Chain A
Amino acid sequence: MGMTTRDETTDAERLARYRLMRLSRRFEETVHEQFHDGNVPGPLHLSIGQEAVAIGGCWPLRETDVIVSTHRGHHHCLAKGARADRMMAELLGRADGYSRGRGGSMHIAIPEIGLLGTNGIVGGGLPIGTGAALGLQIDGRDDVAVSFFGEGAAANGVFGEALNTASLWNLPIVFICENNRYVELTPQHVHVAGEIWKRAEGYDMPGVKVDGNDVDAVVETVAAAVDRARAGDGPTLIEAETYRWFGHYAGDKAAYRDEAEVEAGRAGDPLVRTRALLDPVEADLAEAEVEKEIAAALEFALASPIAGEEVLTPGHYAEEVSA
């Protein structure tokens, strides 16, 4: 969709972004309820509060562009075009899920739409995103890769490996650090020295900090980086600052942080900020549509058979292999 500055953003675009953020929010609220009802047979890492980074980060992308996501990636998946119903089915361990119901939240990958995967390993997507960018470059495609990762992953060795080589080879990739201020169960100051976006300078690439709760600002920043990558001018590191509303995983009550901080963090709600710019009647309509989509997704998931032992074996190799 190319470059879109804040001033050029149309009402229709802003409404569409809001609708996607709302879809992600309601998807996660719904699956969170299902978790507490005992219907989610695996871990769940909620991205509530961080929607603007994913929706804004994927907005400038084509379907043939690719992204890699993280353990906290439902919003990235929906932003890249995953269907809410099949995702819900996957999270609920149902046979119609994207991975036959055997993968769950951290193992959703849909190459057909350029989603190379959420990931159970912090930092695990950084080399894969870089590799995808290399493949796109060698293949002569003008598609780009976006690698989402958290501030915790920036402490992993692969962060430096990926940025160094991406810069050396001018790879078509945008690194988006989604800084939600918590790394698993401890605050970021325990993990992060300095500011992550500033590390770009050492790797000889542009580094940009953006308000990750302002979807228009995220779109503008990422679109510029995507255009740069598409033009063959190489990678960009973006740090988007946001806030994780809930614990590290569903069930983590996050007693390690105080109420005042959480309230202040939630006050930056990206959905509230975007909705304030919309025609309220249109926003109401979009929300009603989202409610229908989520209700249908839940209905689809609950109607899908619980994945049974028949899903255990298939699909490990192209042909049948036994040890």
Chain B
Amino acid sequence: MSTAAVETRSMKFWQGVNQALVEEMDRDERTFLVGEDVARVGGPYGITRGLLDRYGPSRVRDTPISESLLAGLGTGAAAVGMRPIVEIMFFDFAMLAMDQIVNQAAKYRYFTGHSLPLTIRTMCGAGGPNGAQHSQNFEAWFCAVPGLKVVMPSNAADAKGMLKSSIRDEDPTLFIETQGLLTARAEVPLEEDYLVPLGQAAIPREGSDVTVVAIGRMVDRALEAAEQLAADGISVEVLDPRTLSPLDRPAIVESVRKTGRVVVAQDATAPCSIASEVCAIAAESCLAELKTEPVRVTSPFINVPTPVPLAEARAPGVDDIAAALRECAGKGS
């Protein structure tokens, strides 16, 4: 942490996103925003409000419901020198755009040697009453694709700083927002060049007994669980990867080697997930230091129900993470 005084303001997650969009669209006329309902009404959750008035109908456009085209609009426009920002309203709808994201955008530099500065923003509906087609966590799918970057911030400050970095990045980036975090507040630096570099994990709480790698909205829950365990004398280190591809493997390895124990918390189901990847990294690189087996705290392998209480019953809660940490910390000492 820098000791220099940085001017900050308490801001909601969505405001961090909005501010990043405004700053970057002010900064570079080659940026533009397209997506379903993003212009006139500013999106179903108001994230892009004000942008149409500020930048006009050429640079801020409501699109038809054509997700594959949307990703292609960004790919083609980036290929002719623009810096498009494409919004896919819910992460689930990215399934309709897989060819353009995976086969086209992600391969462009490989084939041409040229940059493709495309940012695709999407929102995972976890935390809202959205059901099985509007709440899924597909982040790991995209991490399997060379050529893409995948970003999933857990707070308003990172949302701002990482979206700005994504827009300035020379490669296609999938930026995943989370509905359950949209109104969560954090202190956000106001400086215009507040950039959070992609590919670097954050450690919002240092500890020595057990590491919890937490993703997206699980970071706040992990911090709360860590606080509970501190009362019992258990020291928990919370690591937020923030960028899922490229994953900050050195930071994960360093933390797990230090504590010798690792729990991974995520909204997604377990099979072939980020949690699986973190466990694999721990096994590959930290076996000598591991005092006990890695643990995945995930949603069970079932679909997301619509009512929030049921959806929350399915998702890992603070108690689930705390219990896993407590059990893990009690082993191998």
Contact = CB atoms under 8 A, between A and B. Distances in A.
B177 interface: no
Contacts of B58: 137-138
A162 interface: yes
Q: Which of B34, B63, B104 has the most CB of A within 10 A?
A: B104
Nearest to B199: A321
A132 B109 contact: no
B69 A127 contact: yes
Interface in B1-57: 30, 32, 34
Nearest to B169: A318
Contacts of A165: 63-64, 66, 69, 73
Interface string A291-323: 000000000000000000000000111100111
A135 B112 contact: no
Contact of A121 (B70, B73, B79, B103): B103
Contact of B246 (A103, A124, A136, A322): A322
Given A109-B108, A145-B76, A164-B66, A138 B103 contact: no
Please classify how large the interface on chain B is, using the bins under 10, 10 to 19, 20 to 34, 35 or more.
35 or more
B99 to A, nearest CB: 6
B301 interface: no
B77 A134 contact: yes
Nearest to A131: B76
21 contacts: A124-B100, A127-B68, A127-B70, A128-B104, A130-B69, A131-B76, A131-B84, A132-B76, A135-B77, A138-B82, A139-B30, A145-B76, A165-B66, A165-B69, A315-B110, A316-B147, A318-B115, A318-B169, A321-B246, A323-B146, A323-B245
Nearest to A102: B110
A187 interface: no
Given A117-B112, A317-B109, A131 B147 contact: no
Interface residues of A, number: 47
A162 B80 CA distance: 17
A134 B78 CA distance: 10
A136 B76 CA distance: 10
B117 to A, nearest CB: 9
A127 B75 contact: yes
Contacts of B74: 131
A132 B80 contact: yes
A134 B146 contact: no
B96 to A, nearest CB: 8
A127 B147 CA distance: 19
B271 interface: no
B233 to A, nearest CB: 37
B247 interface: yes
Contact of B73 (A108, A131, A164, A315): A131
Contacts, number: 138
Contacts of A323: 146, 245-247
Interface of A: 66, 68, 99, 102-103, 107-111, 116-117, 119-121, 124, 126-139, 143, 145, 157-158, 161-162, 164-165, 168-169, 315-318, 321-323
B80 A124 contact: no
B237 interface: no
B61 interface: yes
A315 B109 contact: yes
Contact of B68 (A111, A132, A157): A157
A111 B30 CA distance: 18
Given A121-B99, A132-B80, A134-B77, 7 more contacts: A66-B80, A127-B70, A127-B104, A131-B79, A134-B73, A158-B99, A323-B247
A165 B74 CA distance: 13
A130 B108 CA distance: 16
A161 B80 contact: no
A131 B75 contact: yes
For the complex of A and B, list the 8 residue pairs with the smallest distance between their C-beta atoms, beginning with the closest: A127-B72, A131-B76, A135-B77, A161-B69, A161-B66, A132-B76, A131-B73, A318-B170
Contact of B76 (A129, A315, A316): A129
A91 to B, nearest CB: 14
Contact of B79 (A103, A120, A128): A128
A66 B79 CA distance: 10
Contacts of A117: 108, 111-112
A113 B132 CA distance: 45
Contacts of B146: 316, 323
B61 A169 contact: yes
A143 B75 CA distance: 17
Contact of B77 (A99, A131, A157, A318): A131
A99 B111 contact: yes
Contacts of A109: 108, 111-112
Contacts of B112: 99, 109-111, 117
A135 B111 contact: no
Contact of B81 (A135, A145, A316, A317): A135
B240 interface: no
Contacts of B246: 321-323
Q: Which of A68, A102, A132, A135 has the most CB of B within 10 A?
A: A135
Contacts of B245: 323
B291 interface: no
Nearest to A323: B246
Interface in B293-332: none
Given A109-B111, A111-B112, A169-B61, A317 B171 contact: yes
A124 B102 CA distance: 11
B59 interface: yes
A111 B75 CA distance: 13
B174 interface: no
Contacts of A158: 68-69, 72, 99
A168 B57 CA distance: 13
B247 to A, nearest CB: 7
Contacts of B171: 317-318
Contacts of A128: 72, 75-76, 79, 100, 104
Contacts of A116: 76, 79-80
Contact of A135 (B66, B82, B100, B247): B82
